[in-house]
Amino acid sequence: MIRLGAGKRGTDGTPDGTGDGASTRASGPTADRTPDGPGGGPAGRDGGLRGRDRRAAERGGGSRGTDRRSGGRDDGRSGPSGQRQKPRSLLTRGSPTVRLTGRGVLQVNLNWPPGHDVDLDLGCLIEFTDGGQAVVQALGDAYGSLTSWPYAALDQDDRTGAASDGETLRVSMEHRARFRRLLIYAYVYEGAVDFRRLGATAEITGPDRSGGSHRILLDDSPPGAVACAIALVAAERDGLAMRREVRWFTGSQELSPQEQIDHAYGYGMTWVSMTKPPR
């Protein structure tokens, strides 16, 4: 069943996946309608490419986040352009904000140590200046696109934690004038009852790589918390302002984690239950 939000262009419906070892419902998009494009279709389709083919086309260049096998080492070495990068900063409750400038690609990487055999999902709720909305996440095959609406794309779905680079969301800053706000979130699909002891970290790298990257630790989960609103990104005159949120949600039989996050931040989307194929 597909349910689209009435009266909201670009609204994605979204699904439910109850995972083994998880106590939550999960929601994921079932259909897209673009604010400036010709109609829509089932989520997970974009320009005729699907799944890995599309993700490979959208992946582009640049760093894909901290490699778990490297131990997260950051020595300030030069990037591809030869420009020396600043070391990572840590966003905390006492220092929660950072300004992002430039016109390249904003990257958000979700990473967690191997060995937990847990499926964590990275996602993003997007609100556009024209009132359109979109969801980018693996559930529902809503991987998005960097080169067309919604100008944000997820690279892969790490189902077990085995991928050394986790999951990375990329947002095109070339289209930053279209964005009103983006909410970055993560949730447990299956394999754990909450975020405790998972050691998950979000790392945000702006398009101006000389500004370094910014880490947000997801290490203060209360018992039963299966979802986290990680960061809120809002448009400014010359760039984007990002604020650490780290707001935890427990999920329930009535509302999926995505629905709880949506309600808390006033997006007002319509969501539909959905599950992933078995691992």
- Domain boundaries, given as residue ranges, for the chain: 31-60+98-265
pLDDT at residue 17 tops 50: no
Q: Is residue 269's pLDDT more than 70?
A: yes
Would you place residue 28 in the very low, low, confident or very high pLDDT band (cuts 50, 70, 90)? low
Instruction: Name the maximum alpha-carbon separation found in the chain.
Output: 52
Question: Per-residue pLDDT for 150 more than 60?
Answer: yes
Mean pLDDT across the chain, nearest whole number? Answer: 75
Q: Which of 87, 131, 79, 70 is nearest to 105 (CA)?
A: 79
Of residues 15 and 154, the one with the higher pLDDT is 154
Q: Are 15 and 27 in contact (CB under 8 A)?
A: yes
Q: Give the pLDDT confidence score for residue 161 in this predicted structure.
A: 79
What is the Cα–Cα distance from 8 to 222, expressed in whole angstroms? 35
Q: Are 86 and 76 in contact (CB under 8 A)?
A: yes
> Quick one: CATH architecture of 31-60+98-265?
Sandwich (2.60)
